[in-house]
Structure 1
Amino acid sequence: MLVSTNWLSKYVDWNELSVEELAEKITRAGIEVDGIIDRSFGMDNIVIGYVTDCVKHPEADKLHICQVDVGGEITQIICGAPNIAAGQKVIVARPGAVLPGGMKIKKAKLRGEESNGMICSLQELGIEGKVVPKAYAEGIYVLPNDVQAGESALTHLGLYDQVMEFDLTPNRSDALSMLGVAYEVGAILSKDIKLPAISFEESSEKAQDYLKLAVEAQEDNPMYIAKVVKNVKVAESPQWLQNTLMSAGIRPHNNIVDITNYVLLEYGQPLHAFDYDRLETKEIVVRHARECEKIVTLDQAERTLNGHQLVITNGVEPVALAGVMGGANSEVHEGTATVVIESAYFAPSSVRRTSKEVGLRSDASTRFEKGVDPNRVAEAAERAAQLMAELAGGEVLEGSVQFDELDKTAERIILSPDYVNNRLGMKIPMDEMKSIMDRLQIPTEAINGQLVMDIPTRRQDLRIKEDIIEEIARLYGYDEIPKTLPVVESTPGGLTPYQAKRRIVRRFLEAAGLSQALTYSLASPKDAQAFALETAPVTELLMPMSEERSVLRQSLIPHLLDAATYNTARRNESVALYETGSVFLGIEEDGLPKEVEHVAAVLTGKWVHHAWQGETKKVDFFVMKGIVEGLFEQLGLLERIQFTKATVEGMHPGRTATVWLGDQAVGMLGQVHPTVQNQRDLQETYVMEMNLRVIMETAAEELFYEPVPRYPSISRDIALVVDRDTSAANLQAIILQAGGKLLKTVQLFDLYEGKNVEEGKKSLAFSLTYFDPERTLTDEEVVNAHKKVLDALTVQANAQLRS
């Protein structure tokens, strides 16, 4: 809802405040003001000009040389608008003016001819094209002849105005009208409201003699009023009316249509104007449409109707979709002489259903859907008749043609002040509560210590006691509600051990250079169990969005590979992503899917790329393995993990490992199979996935700190020739077991196959470190310990020292 502060001033005096202060008070009272639009944009030096002469530019077919009177001074301006002509009053930006967007107007020469300013369109003054009258949508705006050259064009166009943009909640439909906003501002500022004075002369002829009315669908249309206005002159609206509509975001059409839109914005009551002569039958019948009945609406679209949709007819065919849009066959046009003003109450559910089914949402339907004020239906029609008499020279026929079975009884709410204060935790005096109700102009009496309120029908949102409590709280001031802490037994907040470990996992992976990804929990049937550490019956959705999102996933890897493919297809060839999320393994006893939290990662492209130093390293198995080891080190579990060769479908058979935590397999890592890589348009890609729940529920061993060693260590290197299928991890385990307490570390540093190594064999080189924290070791002790290691390797692994 756009609220012109100039227009608002007609109903309530708010000018003691700045617009910013007013917006702040409205926001604090419960209606959020999203923004304030200054329609003048700081523009100046923009005046009204009179085109005294207009000839074609000798050097350009689409330009005209205009002599323009800008207030006692004739100046030459070059204009390219197609509708420019002599004798027009136009908008002129003088040299030195600044237009929206920062355009500065200067003296210039166009094709050899001097131009001292610019003749402007409304769009060039910052007015949206969708609200500019259609006659001037493609050219300059032509002002009425009664304006004076040299006067401020911004004043004449009403652009010295600031518009507040309201973000209304669905319950505040009362603020969809200027009068509703005025009531709200009046209550906030404790100001009186000035309602429009409706007064006009009626013709001696009666409306009932011109028009008959029959309402067949009384449940959906309990109230219908029609007024008849003769001898109207359809023309452009006066400038003030056009300005007002454009400030509210509505395009002016002609004086009749503009009046109905003006009253809609003023009262919140939608109106429609029919061409009386085009009705032909001089009758209005409100009924439900016949199945497959057709109507061409004002937007020139033919629509096929359903039997439950409410239509206004002339007794023969539909002439309007009730509450949504009029029909083209009864539209007001330049030759219209007699107008029928429709003002009605249509059931919100009926309008909402019709609007949704035909795909039409209008300003009228928006208000009908939320519920209009029953007591404004007749008043809005009278207001429109008054304006048509004033602005279109019409003669209003006596009385109205109406059907009225609508209950307009005010809702009565009885409320105890103690009930209010107990709910709010405040001590607001009863007199203050009554004062707030008086400011809201809700008739209220204090009877036997109770507040008895008759709720005006304009406030459709006030139905129960709690609604009134909210009104009292917001106008008394939410800031006045005292701050108290709950008096209960409480536990200081903090992270659970599981949550703390999850944060460690995420921080480590991000510190290692991976970015977090969030992917769908839904997958396609073919991807649901791909790369899964554990499989279970797949959980299917009853109403999936698509086949690609029809089951719950059992692995995080497929979607991470999708993300890698998406990035590499857009030339982001180095991808490092991780995700922590749930996989779904069958159904629990309570019927819900069993959720298990996993962590997964994908790496492809370059891991190190220092172009200046000429250093580049692609991702490989050991990069991913190092990340996993670093993660377990952060969790205090590094000493308890090991890796063994694994075979997993979709993974490279020689570059895949199972991750063991103690004697439990908790994940896998490795290279994606080249076939899968090609299918996904990926280069060499590595993935890992682990059961995060098991890892984080495993307690880390207690940390013990040792002093810095005072005694030296002794290192020995050995190169072992073993069968090709012998794993380094197996050899390392034998070395550690045989080395005894003096052997502290074992590190693999070389793998060799080729010349001087027998076919089917390989050479593995380890560095062994011996150390005693209490003393310096002798050579004899180290030799004895080292011999035990070599003997164990020979016996248990058939290893031979490489000479």
Structure 2
Amino acid sequence: MLVPVSWLKDYVDIDNIPVEELNEKLILSGSNTEGVVKVIEEAKKIVIGKIIEIKKHPNADKLIIPMVDIGDEIIQIVTGAENIKVGDYVPVALVGSRLPRGIKIKRGKLRGEVSNGMLCSAEELGFNDNVIPKEMRDGILILKGEYTLGMEIQEALELNDYVIEFEITPNRPDCLSMIGMARETSATFNLSVNYPQISLKNETENIKDYVSIEVKDFDLCRRYAGRVVKDIKIEQSPSWLQLRLMKAGVRPINNIVDITNYVMLEYGQPLHAFDLDKLEEKKIIVRRAAEDEKIITLDGVERKLDKEVLVIADAQKPVALAGIMGGQDSEISDNTKTIFLESANFNRKNVRTSSRKLGLRTEASSRFEKGIDPNIVEIAVDRACQLIEELGAGKIIKDKIDIYKDELKEWTIKVRPNRINRLLGTKLSIDEISDILKRLELLVERQGEELLVIIPTFRQDLVKEIDIVEEVARIYGYNVIESTLPKGSTWGAKTNAQEVEDYTKDILNALGFNEITTYSFVSPKSLNLINIPEDSFLRRSVELINPLGEEYSMMRTSLVPNMMDVLSTNYKRKVPEALAFELGNIFIPHNIPVNSLPIEKKMLTLGMYGDKVDFFSLKGAVCEFLNRLGIKDLGFEPEKNHPSFHPGRCASIVYGNHILGTLGEIYPDVLENYGFDSRVYIADIDFNILLQITRLDRIYKPLPKYPAIFRDMAIIVDEEIYNKEIEAIILENGGSILESCTLFDIYRGQQISKGQKSMAYALTFRAQDRTLTDEEVNKVFDNILKQLRDKLNAELR
């Protein structure tokens, strides 16, 4: 929101407040600004002149020689401008002047004729091209009205003005107006607001003789009002109006359009003018569009509508998109003689939805979609008619049509001053709090030790007591509230799940892994990259209604594609080795189509690549991590059917009856999809199950008093027998004296038959209450060998 300070001064007496102080204090009271700029930089010897004669250049067909009266003399200037005529007031840069963009004007000759200065365009005075009137874009700035000749341009046109750009938050649509910012200024500096005094003098006839209005969909149009103006004179607006719009970032068009834009900027209420003679049967009907109904909007684009879009129609067809843009069929033109001036209040959700659906966002829609006070509808249309009357642009037809259903009225909020002080750490009296609220134009009634605050309808953001607390804080001044420590009788603590999450990250960081965080929104193509089949449950995903693009159109059902993306990015950037992990949610819908919130399942994914890592590097990291969480006695079973992993180098992680997840080497086809020439290893673990089986309690035992007895055992077994089967038999039959069993060698060679392998184990025996004898150990050791022979057909090597 661009706010020219000179315009702001119409409503608040801030003549003696420097612009730097104005900007700073408005920021402190909650109005965030993006910066302050001067309308034009320092310029010297640029004055108002009047063209009194134009002669042809004797030596150039495309040049002319205007004689310009600058008050104390008449000077000759040579120019190629085509938009000037005798009697025009124009800005004149005299010899020796300096233009805002550093151009110096010198006396010279053009094709043999003396030129004692330069006529200036709006762009040369420092205005941006997007706000310069089209008819002046390639020509001289023509000043509408009468001016004192020779007056400095900065003084005559208020170009010494400053413009403050405010960042208006969505909850404060009332501040998208000059009057809204005037209220903020008055509250900040404890000044009064001078509202425009609206009155009409020469109303004629009766509006019912000109137009009829019908509102069919009150749920989308709370209020619809309008007035008729006849004998319209379409022309350029006076310079004061054009310049105000230009300073506020709006391009002047013509007097009628400029007035509607002016009132929109002043009050925050968009208006629209229809050529009444172009409306069939002189009817205005506010209704939903028919399915596939079409309209050509003012930007020349034909748009197909549906039944959820609200339109303004005549007796036969749509003539405007309600709250968004008018249509070409009812556009104001130079031949317009009678207009219908619309001021309405449309449903903000519908305007926002329709605007996004049609890909059309305007100054009007950006205001309506945030919510506008319906009680300014009548004020705005009357203000526009007042300006039309003052500019002599038309005659106002008596009365107005105003259809208003479900009138919005003021509401009350009960406020406890002691709670305000308790929350803010202040010691404000009830009277001081009342005074602050009154500065915000809130009515206050005292009820004992409480205040009843009556909220005006333009402050739709104030609905609870805490909102009033914030208003008191910002106007009193955050910068003057003393810093205090928070007080409370309770202490926060992390849940068990949060403790485990933190511990998980600490463990993995210690193991050399770096944490990554990726988007929950992914592309459907990501599942193709990891070879997920079409009938997989991972394809049952939550699709977004309004995605940022196809790359972010569904909620992820696996963290593996995200991990592969990150590893691939590092690999392509020549990072030789990477170890990463992500702890995040996947989203599983209850059913398709999705009609309820999905299940959020927390997963832990580890990934690594590099010359020094292999399958066992990942397996060792997973085992160490799970052991630190108190999850021991893990098992690993071959997994041959996972589409993303190499079938011979993939395993399921098993704990009791739980399958914790999968780890292994990524399938070569998947590696090719991500541009890898080296192996990649991934572990995908269900963190929800980990939370249930994690045991962080630690039981400490004294160091053993008695010595241990060690035995090594090498057995020959069939190739398909796994280590976990052997260890299970050894541990089961080791009794209370077997302290540990460790595999330390696997051998395949000439001394071993084909289809068999030798596996060597180190066994440690120890008793807690005595020194063991060889006889006790031999008895248990022989029993272990017998059980291995009987159950696995193992032979002692």
Identity %: 29
Give the Å deviation of 1:436. Answer: 3.9
Answer yes or no: is 1:601 the counterpart of 2:606: yes
Q: Which AA in structure 2 matches 1:396?
A: K
Q: Find the counterpart in structure 1 of residue 251 from structure 2.
A: 251
Give the Å deviation of 1:601. Answer: 1.9
Give the Å deviation of 1:207. Answer: 4.1
User: Alpha carbons of 1:507 and 1:22: their partners in 2 closer, same or farther (altered >3 Å)?
Assistant: farther
CA deviations over 1:317-367 (Å, ceiling 9, x no partner) = 66545544333344333455x453615344547973895476654333454
- Which of 201, 210, 213 lines up with 2:211 in the alignment? 213
Q: Find the counterpart in structure 2 of residue 622 from structure 1.
A: 616
Give the Å deviation of 1:11. Answer: 1.0
User: Alpha carbons of 1:94 and 1:309: their partners in 2 closer, same or farther (altered >3 Å)?
Assistant: farther
Give the Å deviation of 1:12. Answer: 0.5
Cα distance in 2 for partners of 1:347, 1:586 equals 36
Which SS does the other structure have where 1:503 is aligned? helix
User: Alpha carbons of 1:635 and 1:127: their partners in 2 closer, same or farther (altered >3 Å)?
Assistant: farther
Q: Which AA in structure 2 matches 1:174?
A: D
User: Alpha carbons of 1:175 and 1:652: their partners in 2 closer, same or farther (altered >3 Å)?
Assistant: closer
User: Alpha carbons of 1:649 and 1:18: their partners in 2 closer, same or farther (altered >3 Å)?
Assistant: same
User: Alpha carbons of 1:11 and 1:598: their partners in 2 closer, same or farther (altered >3 Å)?
Assistant: closer
Q: Find the counterpart in structure 1 of residue 189 from structure 2.
A: 189
Q: Within 5 Å, give how 1:654-673 maps onto structure 2.
A: 654-657=648-651, 659=653, 666-673=660-667
Higher deviation after alignment, 20-29 or 144-153: 144-153
User: Alpha carbons of 1:400 and 1:303: their partners in 2 closer, same or farther (altered >3 Å)?
Assistant: farther
Cα distance in 2 for partners of 1:741, 1:792 equals 16
Which SS does the other structure have where 2:167 is aligned? strand
TM-score by length of 1: 0.68
Q: Find the counterpart in structure 1 of residue 170 from structure 2.
A: 169
Q: Which AA in structure 1 matches 2:227?
A: A
CA deviations over 1:702-749 (Å, ceiling 9, x no partner) = 456979xxx9x99999999987667678899999999x9999997848
User: Alpha carbons of 1:676 and 1:94: their partners in 2 closer, same or farther (altered >3 Å)?
Assistant: farther
Instruction: Decide whether the 8 Å contact of 1:284 with 1:312 is kept in 2.
Output: no
User: Alpha carbons of 1:47 and 1:600: their partners in 2 closer, same or farther (altered >3 Å)?
Assistant: same
Instruction: Decide whether the 8 Å contact of 1:93 with 1:105 is kept in 2.
Output: no
Cα distance in 1 for partners of 2:495, 2:346 equals 54
Q: Within 5 Å, give how 1:195-206 maps onto structure 2.
A: 195-198=195-198, 202=202, 206=204
Answer yes or no: is 1:178 the counterpart of 2:178: yes
Give the Å deviation of 1:688. Answer: 2.1
User: Alpha carbons of 1:752 and 1:440: their partners in 2 closer, same or farther (altered >3 Å)?
Assistant: same
Give the Å deviation of 1:259. Answer: 1.7
CA deviations over 1:669-690 (Å, ceiling 9, x no partner) = 3223445555766542322234
Instruction: Decide whether the 8 Å contact of 1:341 with 1:381 is kept in 2.
Output: no
Which SS does the other structure have where 2:400 is aligned? strand
Instruction: Decide whether the 8 Å contact of 2:413 with 2:465 is kept in 1.
Output: yes
Answer yes or no: is 1:36 the counterpart of 2:31: no
Give the Å deviation of 1:265. Answer: 1.2
CA deviations over 1:511-539 (Å, ceiling 9, x no partner) = 514442446599989979x999xxx9989
Structure 1, unmatched stretches of 5+, are 608-616, 773-780
Cα distance in 2 for partners of 1:311, 1:557 equals 48
Which SS does the other structure have where 1:202 is aligned? coil
Which SS does the other structure have where 2:159 is aligned? coil
User: Alpha carbons of 1:65 and 1:580: their partners in 2 closer, same or farther (altered >3 Å)?
Assistant: farther
Cα distance in 1 for partners of 2:318, 2:659 equals 73
CA deviations over 1:111-143 (Å, ceiling 9, x no partner) = xx9xxx999986788755543433455x57645
Instruction: Decide whether the 8 Å contact of 1:158 with 1:243 is kept in 2.
Output: no
Cα distance in 2 for partners of 1:288, 1:621 equals 67
Cα distance in 2 for partners of 1:444, 1:750 equals 87
User: Alpha carbons of 1:735 and 1:600: their partners in 2 closer, same or farther (altered >3 Å)?
Assistant: same
Q: Find the counterpart in structure 2 of residue 403 from structure 1.
A: 401
Cα distance in 2 for partners of 1:763, 1:35 equals 75
Instruction: Decide whether the 8 Å contact of 2:344 with 2:377 is kept in 1.
Output: yes
Q: Which AA in structure 2 matches 1:579?
A: E
User: Alpha carbons of 1:675 and 1:147: their partners in 2 closer, same or farther (altered >3 Å)?
Assistant: same
TM-score by length of 2: 0.68
Q: Within 5 Å, give how 1:345-424 maps onto structure 2.
A: 345-348=344-347, 352=351, 355-356=354-355, 360-367=360-367, 376-391=376-391, 393-394=392-393, 396-397=395-396, 400-404=398-402, 406=404, 411=409, 419=416, 421=418
Instruction: Decide whether the 8 Å contact of 2:555 with 2:586 is kept in 1.
Output: yes
Cα distance in 1 for partners of 2:308, 2:626 equals 66
- Which of 683, 687, 690 lines up with 1:688 in the alignment? 683
Instruction: Decide whether the 8 Å contact of 2:286 with 2:310 is kept in 1.
Output: yes
User: Alpha carbons of 1:208 and 1:579: their partners in 2 closer, same or farther (altered >3 Å)?
Assistant: same
Instruction: Decide whether the 8 Å contact of 1:49 with 1:68 is kept in 2.
Output: no
Q: Which AA in structure 2 matches 1:13?
A: D
Q: Which AA in structure 2 matches 1:507?
A: D
Which SS does the other structure have where 1:180 is aligned? helix
User: Alpha carbons of 1:344 and 1:17: their partners in 2 closer, same or farther (altered >3 Å)?
Assistant: same
Give the Å deviation of 1:262. Answer: 0.7
User: Alpha carbons of 1:54 and 1:577: their partners in 2 closer, same or farther (altered >3 Å)?
Assistant: farther
Cα distance in 1 for partners of 2:435, 2:665 equals 75
User: Alpha carbons of 1:655 and 1:705: their partners in 2 closer, same or farther (altered >3 Å)?
Assistant: farther
Q: Find the counterpart in structure 2 of residue 507 from structure 1.
A: 506
Q: Within 5 Å, give how 1:687-726 maps onto structure 2.
A: 687-693=682-688, 695=690, 697-699=693-695, 701-702=698-699
User: Alpha carbons of 1:566 and 1:272: their partners in 2 closer, same or farther (altered >3 Å)?
Assistant: same
Cα distance in 1 for partners of 2:194, 2:523 equals 62
CA deviations over 1:543-578 (Å, ceiling 9, x no partner) = 776999999988654654466567768887865432
User: Alpha carbons of 1:132 and 1:154: their partners in 2 closer, same or farther (altered >3 Å)?
Assistant: farther
CA deviations over 1:197-246 (Å, ceiling 9, x no partner) = 4567638xx243995232233865765342425363512x3343233213
Which SS does the other structure have where 1:273 is aligned? strand
User: Alpha carbons of 1:388 and 1:703: their partners in 2 closer, same or farther (altered >3 Å)?
Assistant: same
Instruction: Decide whether the 8 Å contact of 1:345 with 1:374 is kept in 2.
Output: yes
User: Alpha carbons of 1:463 and 1:214: their partners in 2 closer, same or farther (altered >3 Å)?
Assistant: farther
CA deviations over 1:391-414 (Å, ceiling 9, x no partner) = 4x43535x5242245489894657
Which SS does the other structure have where 1:249 is aligned? coil
Pairwise CA RMSD of aligned residues?
A: 6.5
Give the Å deviation of 1:181. Answer: 2.2
Instruction: Decide whether the 8 Å contact of 2:521 with 2:553 is kept in 1.
Output: no
Q: Within 5 Å, give how 1:12-411 maps onto structure 2.
A: 12-14=12-14, 16-19=16-19, 21-23=21-23, 25-27=25-27, 29=29, 31-39=30-38, 129-135=129-135, 139=138, 142=141, 144=143, 156=157, 158=159, 160-170=161-171, 172-198=172-198, 202=202, 206-208=204-206, 212-217=210-215, 220=221, 224-228=225-229, 230=231, 232=233, 234-235=235-236, 237-275=237-275, 283=282, 285-286=284-285, 288=287, 291=290, 295-303=295-303, 319-321=319-321, 323-336=323-336, 338-340=337-339, 342-348=341-347, 352=351, 355-356=354-355, 360-367=360-367, 376-391=376-391, 393-394=392-393, 396-397=395-396, 400-404=398-402, 406=404, 411=409
- Which of 583, 598, 612 lines up with 1:580 in the alignment? 583
